[in-house]
A and B are shown apart, each in its own frame.
Chain A
C-alpha cells in the first residue's frame, strides 16, 4: 500500500501488530474484550481458524461472478486504537439525524460513545459489549446462529473473530415501539477496520423499528468495514429495519445481513448503499413459519468507480409465505453494480408468493449493471416471478422536464428520485425520508474519485 511506504516507523509498528489479517491482530482484539463469556471466546477462536482456512474469493467462484475480486486485499487495515477526545467529540456532533427516537447508540471505531437507556420494562437496548455479560444466555441463542453464507463466508468468519461491539435490541412479546432505535457507526482514522454488529430480536407480536447509520469521519481515509445485521422476527412480530451505508468512497465494505421470519411475522428492510469504493451486500431471508411476510428493498447510487455487489437469497421453508424483493440502482460515471438473487421454494412451501425485481438506471454510457436472477422451486402451487431490467433515462420524460425550464442536471436528478420513489415512499418515518432524499441528491453534486482505485 502506498501509505505504508511513506509512513514513519512509528506509525508502521502498531499497524503491523494490529493488522486484521494477522494472528497478532486477532490476539490483540481478544484482549480488548473484557466481558466476553467463554462460549463467545471459543466461537471467536474457531471462527478465526475458519477465516485463515478459507480461500480468498476468486472471479471463478460462482458467488463472485462479475465482482472485482482483485480489490479485496486485507493488507494495510488494522484494528482501531483508542480515539483522541477531539475525534470522539466530532463523531458525537455528527450523530444526530433524528429529533425523535426510542433509543440511540453512537459508536466510533466500534467503541461506544453514547447511549440512551431503554425506558420500557423488559426491553433490552444494549451495546453488545455489555450484552455479552448481562444477557449472555439470550445472546448465545441467536448470535451468529443464522448467517448469509452467500459467498462471503471468509469475511463472516473474520467478522465473528474480530467484532467487539454493536447494538443488541430485544423487544418482549406484545410490546410495540413505534419510534425508531438508531445506531450510528463511524469509522475514523487511516486504515482502520470496523466490524459493526446488529442483532434484533422481536418476540411474539412485538413491533419495532431500527435504523443503522454507517459513516466515516473523513472522506480520505482508507477503511475496511465488515458489518453484520441479523433480524429475528418471532410469531406475529413486525420489524422494520433500514441500513444507511454512507462510508467514504475509499472504504471496502461488507454488509452481511439476514432476516429470519416466523409464523405471521412482517419484516421490511431497506438497504441504502451510498458509500464505499466497493460494497458487497448480502441478504439472506428465511421464511420459517406460515404467513410470514418479508419485503426487502435496496437502492444504490454509485458514482465514479464505485462497485455495488448485491447477492440475495429468499428461502421459503414454510407454506403460505410471501417475500418481495426490489433492488434499484442508478449508476453514474464508470460505476458498476452486480445483482445476483435466488428464490428458493422448498417442497412443502405451497402457496408461496415470491417476487424478485432488479431495475438498473444507467446514467452514463460507461456504467455497467449486471443482473443474475434465479429461481429454484420444488413446490408446485406457487406464485413466483423474477425480472431484471437495465435502461437509460427516458428521453421524452427528460424533454418534458426541460420544456418547463428545469436544467438538465436537475431534471436527471428528479427522474432518479422518481425512479427510487417506489422504495423511498415505503419509509413511514418522515425525518428518514427527508435525509434519504438529501443523501441521494448529494450523489449528484459529489466529486467522484479522480483516480482508478484499483492500483
Chain B
C-alpha cells in the first residue's frame, strides 16, 4: 500500500539529537495529526523529511511508496510525491507565483513535454478561487510582502496544484485568524480523498475542529508517546501537555 513509512528515525540538529527513535506510518487516504509541545521535534522531523541540509538524519529509514527518501535529493523527494507546507515559507523576490508553480509542474514532465499554458491558468485560477486568493496574486512575487494568512494560503495553493500523494503540513494554523483558518481548512478538505495522505503537525486542537483527523499522535522528546483517535486531541486540549509528560514519566 502506498504511504509514508517512517521507521526508527533519529535526527540531529547541530550535532544535538532532536528526533529520537520516531516511527509512524501515514497511509494514503488518511489524515494523521502530530501534536506536541514546542521543542518536541515536530518541525525538525518535517524539515528533515523534505531534505533540508541543516537537519542530519543519523538513523532509521523513511519510505515514500516504498522508495527510500533518505537517499534522494530535495527536489527528487518532491517529484516522488511528498509535499511540505512550510510553517515559514521563504520569500522569493522577482519570481511570480505563476512562474514558480509553472516551473514546479514543468519539472514533473518528461523532457520533450510542455505544459499547456491555457489549461495551466484555468486550473490555477480554479484553485485560487477555491482558496479565495485574488487572481492578481499570480503576478506577485512568491510570498513577498504577504501576510501570514496569505503565505499559508499560497502553500495550500501549491499543494493543490502539485497534487502530492503525501503532504506534511507544518503548523499550518499558526498565525491564521479564524476566517483564514476556515478557508485553508476548506481547501485541504476538498483535497482529501483516497489518493492523498496528510500528516498535520500542530500545536493546538483548534485546527482539528476544521480538519478532522483519522488518527492523532502525541510527540514528546523526539518520539511518539501516545496514539489514538480524534478524541485524543480533545483530551489533550482539556488536560494539557503536562498530562502526557506525567504519564511518560510514570512509565
| Chain A residues within CB distance 8 Å of chain B | 394-397, 399-408, 410-411, 414-415, 417-422
Contacts and interface: CB of A to CB of B under 8 A. Distances in A.
Interface stretch (B32-40, B94-102, B181-189): B94-102
Contact of A418 (B89, B95, B162): B95
Contacts of B93: 418-419, 421
Chief secondary structure at chain B's binding surface: mixed
Given A403-B84, A405-B75, A418-B93, 6 more contacts: A404-B101, A405-B107, A408-B75, A414-B100, A418-B95, A420-B94
Given A417-B94, A418-B141, A405 B53 contact: no
Contact of B92 (A395, A400, A402, A420): A400
Contact of B90 (A397, A406, A419): A397
Contacts of A405: 75-76, 78-79, 104, 107-108, 162
B86 interface: yes
B95 A406 contact: no
Choose among B52, B53, B74 the residue with the greatest number of A CB atoms under 10 Å from its CB. B74
Contacts of A399: 51-53, 74, 90
Nearest to B88: A396
Nearest to A396: B90
Nearest to B91: A397
Contacts of B79: 405
Nearest to A422: B94
Residue of A397, A399, A405 with highest tally of chain B CB at under 10 A? A405
B169 to A, nearest CB: 13
Contacts of B162: 404-405
Interface size class of B (residues with CB under 8 A): 20 to 34
A408 B51 CA distance: 13
Given A406-B107, A414-B103, A419 B78 contact: no
8 contacts: A400-B90, A402-B74, A403-B78, A404-B104, A405-B75, A405-B108, A407-B107, A414-B103
A416 to B, nearest CB: 9
Contacts of A418: 92-95, 141
Contact of A403 (B74, B99, B101): B74
A406 B94 contact: no
Q: Which 9 A-B pairs have the closest CB atoms?
A: A418-B94, A421-B94, A405-B78, A400-B90, A402-B74, A404-B104, A418-B95, A405-B79, A402-B75
Contacts of A397: 90-92
Contacts of B91: 397
A421 B139 CA distance: 12
Contacts of B99: 414, 417
A400 B51 CA distance: 10
Q: Among the interface residues A397, A402, A415, which one has the most CB atoms of the partner chain B within 10 A? A: A402
A41 B91 CA distance: 58
Nearest to B108: A405
A418 B142 CA distance: 10
A401 B92 contact: yes
B86 A400 contact: yes
B87 interface: no
Contacts of A402: 51, 73-75, 78
B86 to A, nearest CB: 7
Nearest to A394: B90
A411 B106 CA distance: 12
B172 interface: no
B19 interface: no
B202 interface: no
B3 interface: no
B196 interface: no
Nearest to B92: A397
A402 B103 CA distance: 11
Interface in B57-95: 73-79, 84, 86, 89-95
B158 interface: yes
Contacts of B92: 397, 400-401, 414-415, 418
B42 to A, nearest CB: 17
B50 interface: yes
Contacts of A406: 75, 103-104, 107
A85 B164 CA distance: 58
A299 to B, nearest CB: 12
B242 to A, nearest CB: 34
Contact of B158 (A394, A404, A410, A411): A404
